[in-house]
Chains A and B, each alone.
Chain A
Amino acid sequence: MPDPSPSPAPSQVAGFVEHASRAIGLPIRAEDLPGVLANTARLHALARLVMDFPLTDEVETAGVFEP
């Protein structure tokens, strides 16, 4: 199991939000920015749990999911 990837610094989260929102043409109003940064930081932490888990090549997504 690889070591957990490091948490991004607040400035990295802010940079990510700035670039990603510009890339998809989604303006973030100044009054929404603190909440968006907090939620993005939470998503980064959760995504680390997913990205750090090794999956073999044959594990595909389910097209139409059948439980």
Chain B
Amino acid sequence: MIRAAHADDAADAATIAAAVRGRAMTAEAVTRAALERIRARDAGINAFTAVLAEQALADARAVDALIAAGRDPGPLAGVPFAVKDLFDIAGRTTLAGSKILAGRAPARRDATAVARLKAAGAVLVGTLNMDEFAYGFTTENEHYGATRNPRDPERIAGGSSGGSAAAVSAGMVPLTLGSDTNGSIRVPAALCGIFGLKPTYGRLSRAGAFPFAGSFDHVGPFARSVRDLAAACDAMQGHDPLDPVCAKGPAEPALGRLQEGARGLRIAVAGGYFRQSALPEALSAVAAVAAALKATREVELPQAHRARAAAFVITAAEGANLHLADLKARPQDFDSATRDRFLAGALIPAAWYLQAQRFRRWYRDRVRELFQEVDLILAPTTPCPATRIGQETMKIGEAEMPVRPNLGLFTQPISFIGLPVLSVPVQRPGALPLGVQLIAAPYREDVVLRAGAALEQAGVCAAPVARPSHSEKASDPH
């Protein structure tokens, strides 16, 4: 039994934690198996930027020692996890996908999210690739290479948390952390065919996560089951005085509510903007989820195109301001994919930025009104499946549009006002997966996770491990 469990890369975090807590296997053995999978599989994927084998094995042995002493090792005992390369890890320099930060001092403490997962018994095994400074949707990093999509290595994993999605999709680890400012958890989760949770803005502490655009920065988990996302989110919840926007209210665990399913939820599909600029298959994925959840009505998020524009302007201004000193002193050291956008963002007039922030307030109030009538809104995560590595433009209908800024068309108007979103995977035989956003009112992670669990139960959404020998080559839609 122990041997079989080692080999099982399809085991989710809940299964592993139950086996470790029940002494069916040791955390050390689980960690060794994960390290072996990373060694065997990551060369073709490039999800990891560092593997912390020695520390991981030491941490795993500490979990085993707790169990041997009869103490509670935590709900995620022995679960191997990895984090986007922008989370602080004590003793290591946080790079955020750049080479500019390489000269900085090592972090003195773990990021709050990392520390809380470790406190729950999870074992950190490495750091994961990303777009430089999280400014992108493709994880084609000039310094550290492109991360490949485990379901078709010719294609992007999505970004900016591309390594976080690919590592889970390829079955290297069951749980990872990423960040989402405009879609950077949801886009790669969708393109790699797994589950990704962007919680409410402020729900999880961002302390020790390298910032991008503070108005929209979130952190959140990736996994292959909804219960793993709920368990991870529950473990990371709670106020943190180190993050000024972290929610002050009590933690609201969601794991125990999953069995309620979608019962009693008022569910609608987002119309208007969210039906334009999408390939038919992206809308079909939404329709499949809507049918399973018996959603028949449609709602319109007012002025969603302006919300996306305002998110774009605020992101460029805040991101550029953060990096202004380096843009002046050493522009040559930026990834060429981010440099021009940061430089342009640095020149944004105050009037644009402030008007965009005021519009955000207006839009938030209108969408709050919508949530008086519905509990859950469905929308595509991306307009299309994963594009090819190096592909600059994509064709949606008659329009040819650049890939990098437009993969976030449908995610930006949602993170703009901090709503909780679960991106659920819709697998398509013979074709690449697509994602559907389940969107709820602020602080209602329970609603998106309950609906996600119902879709899993119904067999509409699933995140099987992408097998190297069974990688599905999609017919090219572009």
Alpha-carbon gap, A65 to B200, bound state (A) = 12
Report B112 CB to chain A, min CB distance, Å.
18
Chain B interface size range: 35 or more
Q: Which of A16, A26, A50 contacts B324 (CB 8 A)?
A: A26
| Inter-subunit contact A64/B244 (CB<8 Å) | yes
Query: For the complex, is A47 an interface residue (Cβ under 8 Å from B)?
Result: yes
Query: B310 — nearest CB in chain A belongs to which residue?
Result: A50
Alpha-carbon gap, A66 to B344, bound state (A) = 29
Alpha-carbon gap, A24 to B313, bound state (A) = 18
Most buried by B among A26, A27, A43: A43
| Inter-subunit contact B202/A67 (CB<8 Å) | yes
B319-337 CB mask vs A (1 if < 8 Å, else 0) is 0000010011001100010
Question: Which stretch of B141-149, B277-285, B346-354 is in the interface?
Answer: B346-354
| Inter-subunit contact B327/A26 (CB<8 Å) | yes
The 9 closest A-B pairs by CB, nearest first: A35-B340, A67-B418, A39-B344, A46-B309, A61-B357, A20-B347, A49-B309, A67-B442, A47-B352
Q: Which of A35, A40, A46 contacts B347 (CB 8 A)?
A: A40
Sample of 19 more A-B contacts, CB < 8 Å, known A50-B306, A55-B355, A66-B442: A21-B343, A21-B346, A24-B324, A26-B343, A32-B343, A35-B336, A39-B343, A39-B344, A39-B345, A40-B344, A43-B313, A43-B348, A43-B352, A46-B309, A47-B352, A49-B306, A49-B309, A50-B355, A60-B358
A40-54 CB mask vs B (1 if < 8 Å, else 0) is 101100110111010
Q: Inside 8 A of B343's CB, which chain A residues have their CB?
A: 21, 26, 28, 32, 35-36, 39
Alpha-carbon gap, A24 to B331, bound state (A) = 15
Binding site for A on B (CB under 8 A): 200-202, 215, 244-245, 303, 305-306, 309-310, 312-313, 316, 324, 327-328, 331-332, 336, 339-341, 343-349, 351-352, 354-362, 364, 405, 417-419, 442-443
| Inter-subunit contact B347/A29 (CB<8 Å) | no
Chain A interface size range: 20 to 34
Q: Which of A46, A51, A62 contacts B360 (CB 8 A)?
A: A62
Report A56 CB to chain B, min CB distance, Å.
9
Q: Which of B202, B352, B419 contacts A66 (CB 8 A)?
A: B202
Cross-chain pairs A/B with CB under 8 angstroms, 16 sampled: A21-B343, A24-B324, A36-B343, A42-B405, A49-B306, A49-B310, A50-B310, A50-B352, A50-B356, A50-B359, A51-B351, A60-B361, A62-B357, A62-B364, A64-B245, A66-B442
Task: State the majority secondary structure of interface residues on B.
Answer: helix
| Inter-subunit contact A62/B361 (CB<8 Å) | yes
Report A58 CB to chain B, min CB distance, Å.
10
Alpha-carbon gap, A49 to B356, bound state (A) = 10
Query: For the complex, is A9 an interface residue (Cβ under 8 Å from B)?
Result: no
Alpha-carbon gap, A9 to B359, bound state (A) = 26
Alpha-carbon gap, A43 to B419, bound state (A) = 25
